[in-house]
Structures are given as structure tokens and as C-alpha cells.
Structure 1
Amino acid sequence: MDIASRADLDVLLRRFYTAAFADPLIGPFFTEIAGTDLDAHLPRITDFWERALFRAAEYRRDAFGPHAALHTARPLTAEHFGRWVQLWHASVDGLHRGPVADRAKAQGERIALAMLRRLGGKDASIAGDGPGFIPLATLELRRAA
């Protein structure tokens, strides 16, 4: 079944962030550096995704600012964004199939690439080699096809 509502997004995002918080590579960015409170974060990030996928919610926050602060505390690399994409895809695929789910995955890929480039400059490396890493270069290939 496809992503069809805010309730679907809430379940999906809770699943994703539970995995992300527990992940040894990107989890510390959420738990140690940002000290993210999942219950406080979920309504805001659900607004973001509801706006991105359904044009239905108000989202007037600066999505880049918190990532820039994290990057200042500990640099975010292609490997971090690749893991984020990997977990995002797995979370979406584990719950949903359809055009909105496909759009959610594609949007996640665009966000990862845009954040990496904005944080690291236009020459930011999209290479990485960690375990389970999805090279962001493959996303570039997919977009070019």
C-alpha cells in the first residue's frame, strides 16, 4: 500500500528514526551531537514530509540550519548521507509501495545530495566506502538516466 496520509508518514518516520538513532554511523549525530528528542522532532519532520509529498502541511522552518550546525560540530560526509539514504529506502520499502513511496525515496535522495553539496561546497566528494554504504554517485547516475 502506498503512503496516503499523515498517519502513514508518522509510522514511517518513527520507523526510520528508530533505525537512524540506533545506527552506529549516523546515530550519534541524532543522539549525542544534536540530542534529538524524537517525540518533539516527529511532528516537525512529519510536517516537512507532508508538505514535500502532499503539499498539505505548513513547514516554515530552516531545514538546512540544523544540519549546518551538526556539520560544524562533526563533519557530515558522503558516507553519512549514503547511510541516511540506505535507511530511508529500507524504511519506505518495508512499509509502502507505489508512486508516493517512490517520490519519497527520490526526494530523500535529492535532499541528501543537496545537503552534502551545500555543506561541503560544489566540489564535495560523493565517494565513500563504509560498510553498507550506498555511494551517492549511484544516485547521480540514476538521476542522469
Structure 2
Amino acid sequence: MATLKDISNLEDIKLMVNTFYDNVRKDDLLGPIFNDKLQDRWSEHLEKMYGFWQTILFDVRAYSGSPFPPHKQLPVDKTHFDRWIQIFNTTIDKQFSGTITEEAKMRATNMAFMFNHKIEYFRNPENQ
């Protein structure tokens, strides 16, 4: 078995993001939500994700903005975020291995936890 390399450049990020979202689009649970939300704007979303991950992993200011607001109203719960992380980790582990790869998985897990927590907070009227 060939040794997998670590995520090290923009081309690696594009491979990671494209493969991950290809898997999401085909997923029975997540696919309908993403496909309904993005419709014909997938290329725009992918470009944002390239910049987001460049910023997160390489400290390159390729993304600005707040990632949470577009997700706030999605019909998702912990089950969706758990599936998102499972697909993310499975996808990335087939392609890469190393310190930055582990950082990406940790950041994705933390982001999913935070997004789920914030969505639950905003949905629960007694928290307002």
C-alpha cells in the first residue's frame, strides 16, 4: 500500500473538498439538503470551501466572512452533523495522512459540534 502524503497545497485542498462534496451529494441523508440549498451554485460553494480551508490550514487569507449564518436555517440536527463528520473523515483518510490532515479532521469535528450547538440554541425559544 502506498504511503499517503499530507495536505500541503491548494491542489490538495481542492482534491479534498471536491471528493468530500461528491460524496455528500450522493449521500441519502445529506445529499438532498445540500442539493436543494445549492442547486446550480455548487461551483461557487466549492470555491468558497477552497478559500475556507486554505485560511484554516495554511493561514492564507483566502476566505473572509462568517461560515455559520448560511447554515443557521438548514433542516439539520446532530444526526446530520455526525454523518457529515463521518463522510469527511472517511474521505480525507483515503487521500491523505499527516499533521495537517489530522488538523483538518479536528477542525471539521469542532466546526460540526459548534454549528450543531448554535443551531440548537437558536431553535430553542427559551434560550432567546
| Same fold flag (TM > 0.5) | yes
Matching of residues 88-103 of structure 1 within 5 Å: 88-103=88-103
Shift of 1:42: 1.2
Shift of 1:35: 2.2
Matching of residues 15-94 of structure 1 within 5 Å: 15-35=19-39, 37-70=41-74, 74=75, 76-94=76-94
Deviation larger for 49-58 or 6-15: 49-58
TM-superposition CA deviations, 1:5-57 (whole Å, max 9, x none): 01100011000000001101011111023426222211111100110011013
Q: Which amino acid aligns with 1:96?
A: F
Q: Which amino acid aligns with 1:89?
A: N
**TM-score where L is the length of structure 1:** 0.77
Q: Which has the higher contact order (CA 8 A, sep 6+)?
A: 2
**TM-score where L is the length of structure 2:** 0.87
Contact (CA 8 Å) 1:30, 1:36: kept in 2 or not?
A: no
Name structure 2 gaps, 5 residues minimum: none
Runs (4 or more) in structure 1 with deviation over 4 Å come to none
CA RMSD of aligned residues (A): 1.6
Q: Find the residue that maps to 2:97 and give its secondary structure.
A: coil
Name structure 1 gaps, 5 residues minimum: 125-145
1:114 correspondence with 2:118 = no
Q: CA–CA distance in 2 between the matches of 1:50 and 1:8?
A: 10
Q: Which amino acid aligns with 1:28?
A: P
Contact (CA 8 Å) 1:9, 1:50: kept in 2 or not?
A: yes
* Count of matched residue pairs: 119
